[in-house]
């Protein structure tokens, strides 16, 4: 089985796991503390500070490692929320149908007719600036996309014979959603998982870059770009390092997601030939 | 003909309704707090008297519904209210910034649209050969890059190392058109790179989709020349999907512009919006949010209208 994994997916898997391991073991890997001032401002790369120091003289490598933890952890939580909310509502809407389906679907249409970033800015202008709010806003706004996918998949499954059979033998709606439809809708949903995670990473980075995400002294990669951006015009590339890390993470997850997506369409005899 | 007009009228009516609902949602979005705007302006430590005063000044003691209609009524007449932080008229402040933003976005669009379509055509022409693989591979990588990575890379290499363009996009009234173009060169290039990848990939998919249809095969088997196949059979059917792709990506430009303006310190709507979100200046945020949403909905509507008009099946109903 493993011999059939394309080289791009192997690269993606390797880099993604490296990032995940870094995030998991951040405190043991980082040579210095998160908010510890260890040198001068924007020192160049050296054997002591592998990536140099940042705008306040903190070790950039250590902050990158802690930043990996913050970025990945929050993006994962937000993805989990968007999947939980989106798929449960989407499956329920498809099974129950009628006015509930119409109401939820039109509300999702409405939410999606405003660009996500713009609506997030509107909501964040009044909500308190803390981690919980941030994760909830990110998760709920993105749940709209999961909802659409889950509902579309579930509507197809809902008319299958085995669902009909379950209905006729008198199973309740909860059983039908969780035991009949969910297992069969899982494959396309999992393929979507990677893409939603990338979106959350980019979304969080954009919010933090605009100063509305993670608040200092904690750092995620987007916030670190913001902290170090003033150095760019003096030719100090410190801000490019966290920005590059975001890109590499996004590209490698994309490679993995692409492979899973192709595999699932293969299974269904779908569009992989094109 | 009247059938098309009915369809168009229906689409316009839906957009108008959607816009109304969006305005309600944006208004409601700033009302979801247990506290209110006065609380978030003054902070947690505000005295009850100060809160009550500010609430009265801002009209917050009225019910939400009547405030919503007051706000909406003002907007319809071009009155966007006043900013909390400095008491200036929002419509005045937005006017020039809106022009700047539209200028930046259109510059990016003028470059990105022809480029994306030609790259997409090129990829289809050399499908599965090296030009296609090169274009598709590069764009796949570009899709994952955040705006600020592209933006700061351009600043670092093109503006700082090479010194070709200014790193900060300052614009003022007395600038000539050429000077203005020079100032927005890098932000426009960033936006172009951000939307180019998506637009090109979707164009490629749209044209491939048309080229694989049965009627193209029929035309080939009839022995038509390649030019006739493309001009008479493929193009009319590809226009609608391509225009759709272009419009969807221009709508995405509306969002990309927010981050890009902050990167290049460009005096546009996005910068204005972000500044006032962190100052918790709700009236400004509401007004900007509504304007951005209007552009987004408008572009989506134009995409639909063009695909209605360009679709021969709708033009000649049976």
Token couple for A72: 């990945």
Residue B140 and residue A254: Cβ atoms within 8 Å? yes
Give the CA distances from residue B142 to residues A216, A250, B138, B145, in Å, rounded to whole numbers and listed in that order.
Answer: 29, 10, 6, 5
Q: Which residues of B touch A239 (CB under 8 A)?
A: 152
Residues in chain B, pLDDT under 50: none
| Dihedral sign computed on CA atoms, order A11, B142, B270, B246 | negative
**Domains of chain B with bracketed CATH:** 90-280 (1.10.3720.10)
* Interface with A, mutate which of B71, B90, B145 (most A CBs under 10 A): B145
Q: To the nearest whole angstrom, how far is the Cα of B280 from the nearest Cα of chain A?
A: 5
Give yes or no for residue A252 having a pLDDT over 80. Answer: yes
CA separation for the pair B232, B70 (Å, rounded): 54
Query: pLDDT tens digits, residue range A178-214?
Result: 888 888 888 788 878 888 999 899 999 999 988 888 8
Query: Taking CA A96 as the corner, what is the angle to CA A93 and CA A100, rounded to the nearest 5 degrees?
Result: 60
Alpha carbons B210 and B234: distance in angstroms, whole number: 6
Q: Do B296 and A233 touch (CB under 8 A)?
A: no
- State how far residue A268 is from chain B, nearest Cα, in angstroms: 20
Taking a C-beta distance cutoff of 8 angstroms, is the pair B288, B95 a contact? no
Q: Is the residue at A217 inside a domain?
A: yes
- pLDDT higher than 90, residue A77: yes
Q: Which of A117, A119, A243 sits opposite B152 (nearest CB)?
A: A243
Structure tokens at A159: 């008319």
User: Tokens 């999606």 appear where?
Assistant: A112
In this predicted structure, what is the pLDDT of residue A271?
Answer: 39
User: Contact A123/B32, CB-based, under 8 Å?
Assistant: yes
- Find the CB nearest B277 among A125, A198, A247: A125
What are the tens digits of pLDDT across the range A107-127? 898 888 888 888 898 888 888
Place A80 in a pLDDT band, splitting at 50, 70 and 90.
very high
Residue A274: strand, helix, or coil:
coil
* Interface contact flag, B145 A250, Cβ < 8 Å: yes
DSSP states of B180-231 as a string? Answer: HHHHTHHHHHHHHHHHHHHHHHHHHHHHHHHHTSHHHHHHHHTT--HHHIII
Q: Is residue A273 part of a domain?
A: no
Question: Does some domain include residue A30?
Answer: yes
Task: Report how far apart, in Å, the C-alpha atoms of A36 and of each of A39, A57, A218, B42, B168 are.
Answer: 9, 8, 12, 33, 32
- The answer to whether position A1 is within a domain reads no
Taking CA A249 as the corner, what is the angle to CA A246 and CA A253, rounded to the nearest 5 degrees?
140
Contact list in B for residue A113 (CB cut-off 8 A) is: 18, 22, 293, 296-297, 300
Set of chain A residues whose Cβ sits within 8 Å of the Cβ of B213: none
- Residue A112: inside a domain: yes
Q: How far apart are CA B129 and CA B122, in angstroms?
A: 11
In chain B, the residue whose alpha carbon lies closest to the alpha carbon of A118 is B289
Inform me whether the pLDDT recorded for A263 exceeds 80.
Answer: no
Say yes or no to pLDDT of A243 above 50: yes
Query: Residue A209: which of B40, B148, B276 has the nearest Cβ?
Result: B148
The SS3 of residue B82 is: strand
Q: What's the pLDDT at A135?
A: 92
What is the rounded CA–CA span in Å between residue B293 and residue B98? 13
| pLDDT attached to residue A269 | 42
Neighboring chain A residues of B140 at a CB cutoff of 8 Å: 254, 258
A with B: how many residue pairs have Cβ under 8 Å apart?
A: 150
Per-residue model confidence (pLDDT) at position A264: 65
Q: pLDDT, tens digit, for every residue of A38-59?
A: 777 777 777 777 777 777 777 7
Q: Which of A210, A240, A261 is the mutation pick for testing B, counting most B CBs within 10 A?
A: A210
Q: Which of A111, A121, A244 sits opposite B277 (nearest CB)?
A: A121
User: What is the C-alpha to C-alpha distance for residues A176 and A49, in angstroms, rounded to an integer?
Assistant: 57
User: Helix, strand or coil for residue B268?
Assistant: coil
Q: Could you say which of A115, A235, A246 has the minimum Cβ distance to residue B149? A: A246
pLDDT band at A260 (very low <50, low <70, confident <90, very high): confident
What beta strand segments (E) does chain B contain?
A: none
CA nearest A144: which of A176, A114, A180, A121?
Answer: A114
Question: For residue A128, what pLDDT is reported?
Answer: 77
Single out the residue of B37, B201, B32 nearest to residue B120, CA to CA.
Answer: B201
Tokens of A222: 């987007």
Among A56-60, A244-248, A256-260, which is the least confidently predicted range? A56-60
User: Helices B185-211 & B130-143, crossing angle to 10 degrees?
Assistant: 130
pTM confidence score? 0.85
| Contact call for residues B180 and A253 (beta carbons, < 8 A) | no
Helices (H), B235-281: 235-263, 269-278
Q: Is the pLDDT of residue A81 over 90?
A: yes
Closest CB to B282 among A117, A125, A212: A125
- B218: tokens are 């029929």
pLDDT of residue B34: 57
**Structural domain contains residue A240:** yes
Mean pLDDT of A79-98: 90
- Measured CA to CA in angstroms, residue B318 lies from A244, B5, B6, B312, B315 at distances of 55, 16, 16, 11, 10
d(CA A134, CA A213): 7
Place of tokens 């990677």: A194
First to last CA, chain B: 12
Confidence of residue A76 (pLDDT cuts 50, 70, 90): very high
Domain count, chain A: 1
- Residue contact B286–A122, C-beta within 8 A: yes
With respect to residue A197, please indicate whether it lies within any of the assigned structural domains.
yes
Give residue A143's pLDDT.
93
Going by pLDDT thresholds of 50, 70 and 90, the confidence category of residue A270 is very low
The shortest C-alpha distance from B30 to chain A (Å) reads: 6
Q: Which residue has the tokens 């022009």?
A: B99
With respect to residue A274, please indicate whether it lies within any of the assigned structural domains: no
Kindly list the residues from chain A whose CB atom is less than 8 angstroms away from the CB atom of residue B41. Answer: none
Give the CA distances from residue A106 to residues A12, A103, A147, in Å, rounded to whole numbers and listed in that order: 37, 5, 12
Instruction: Please give the residue range of the domain that contains residue A217.
Output: 6-268
Is residue B195 within 8 A of residue B106, CB to CB? The reply is no
Residue B26 tokens, joined: 């944006």
For residue B82, what are the β-bridge partners? B89
CB B124 within 8 A of CB B208: yes
d(CA B127, CA A56): 51
Q: How far apart are CA A257 and CA A193, in angstroms?
A: 8
**Is the Cβ pair B156, A247 closer than 8 Å?**
no
B chain contacts of residue A274, beta-carbon cutoff 8 Å: 208, 212
Chain B positions in Cβ-Cβ contact with residue A118 (cut-off 8 Å): 254-255, 258, 273, 289, 292-293, 296
Q: Kindly report the CATH number assigned to the domain that includes residue A229.
A: 1.10.3720.10
Residues of chain A contacting B, Cβ within 8 Å: 110-111, 113-119, 121-128, 198, 202, 205-206, 209-212, 222, 225, 229, 232-235, 237, 239-240, 243-244, 246-247, 250-251, 254, 258, 274
Query: Most A CBs within 10 Å: which of B31, B71, B152, B253, as the mutation test of the A interface?
Result: B152
C-alpha neighbours within 13 Å on the C-beta side of residue A24: 6
Cα separation, B295 vs B303, in Å, equals 12
């Amino acid at each position: 089985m493993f011999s059939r994994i394309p080289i791009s997916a192997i690269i993606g898997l390797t880099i993604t796991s490296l990032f995940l391991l870094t995030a998991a073991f951040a405190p043991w890997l980082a040579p210095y503390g998160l908010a510890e001032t260890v040198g001068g401002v924007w020192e160049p790369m050296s054997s002591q500070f592998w990536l140099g120091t940042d705008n306040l003289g903190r070790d950039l490598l250590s902050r990158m490692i802690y930043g990996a933890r913050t970025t990945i952890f929050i993006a994962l939580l937000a993805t989990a929320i968007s999947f939980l909310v989106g798929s449960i509502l989407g499956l329920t809407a498809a099974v129950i149908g009628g006015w509930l389906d119409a109401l939820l679907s039109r509300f999702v249409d409405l939410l999606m007719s405003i660009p996500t970033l713009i609506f997030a800015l509107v909501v964040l202008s009044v909500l308190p600036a803390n981690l919980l709010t941030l994760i909830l806003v990110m998760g709920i706004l993105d749940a709209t996309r999961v909802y659409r996918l889950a509902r579309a998949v579930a509507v197809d499954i809902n008319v299958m014979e085995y669902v009909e059979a379950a209905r006729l033998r008198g199973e309740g709606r909860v059983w039908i959603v969780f035991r009949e439809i969910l297992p069969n809708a899982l494959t396309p949903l999992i393929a979507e998982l990677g893409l939603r995670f990338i979106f959350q990473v980019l979304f969080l980075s954009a919010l933090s870059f605009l100063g509305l995400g993670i608040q200092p002294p904690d750092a995620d990669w987007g916030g670190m770009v913001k902290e170090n951006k003033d150095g760019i015009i003096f030719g100090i590339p410190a801000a490019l390092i966290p920005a590059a890390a975001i890109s590499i993470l996004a590209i490698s997850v994309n490679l993995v997601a692409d492979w899973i997506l192709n595999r699932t369409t293969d299974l269904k005899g779908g569009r992989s030939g094109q | 003909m009247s059938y098309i007009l009915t369809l168009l009228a229906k689409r316009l009516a839906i957009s108008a309704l959607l816009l109304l609902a969006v305005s309600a949602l944006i208004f409601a979005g700033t009302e979801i707090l247990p506290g209110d705007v006065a609380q978030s302006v003054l902070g947690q430590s505000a005295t009850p008297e100060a809160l009550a005063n500010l609430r009265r000044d801002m009209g917050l003691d009225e019910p939400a519904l009547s405030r919503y209609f007051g706000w909406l009524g003002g907007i319809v007449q071009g009155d966007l209210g006043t900013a909390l932080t400095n008491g200036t008229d929002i419509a005045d402040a937005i006017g020039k910034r809106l022009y700047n933003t539209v200028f930046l976005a259109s510059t990016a669009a003028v470059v990105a649209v022809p480029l994306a379509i030609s790259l997409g055509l090129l990829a289809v022409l050399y499908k599965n050969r090296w030009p296609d693989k090169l274009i598709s591979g590069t764009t796949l990588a570009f899709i994952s890059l955040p705006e600020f990575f592209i933006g700061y890379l351009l600043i670092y290499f093109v503006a700082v190392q090479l010194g070709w363009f200014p790193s900060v996009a300052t614009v003022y009234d007395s600038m000539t058109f050429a000077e203005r173009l020079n100032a927005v060169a890098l932000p426009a290039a960033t936006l172009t790179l951000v939307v180019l990848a998506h637009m090109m990939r979707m164009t490629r998919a749209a044209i491939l989709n048309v080229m694989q249809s049965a009627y193209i095969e029929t035309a080939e088997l009839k022995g038509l020349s390649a030019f006739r196949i493309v001009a008479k059979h493929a193009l009319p059917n590809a226009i609608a999907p391509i225009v759709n792709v272009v419009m969807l990506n221009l709508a995405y430009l509306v969002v990309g512009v927010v981050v890009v303006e902050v990167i290049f310190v460009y005096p546009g709507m996005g910068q204005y919006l972000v500044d006032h979100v962190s100052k918790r200046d709700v009236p400004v945020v509401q007004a900007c949010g509504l304007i951005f949403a209007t552009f987004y909905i408008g572009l989506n509507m134009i995409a639909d209208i063009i695909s209605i008009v360009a679709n021969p099946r709708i033009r000649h109903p049976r």
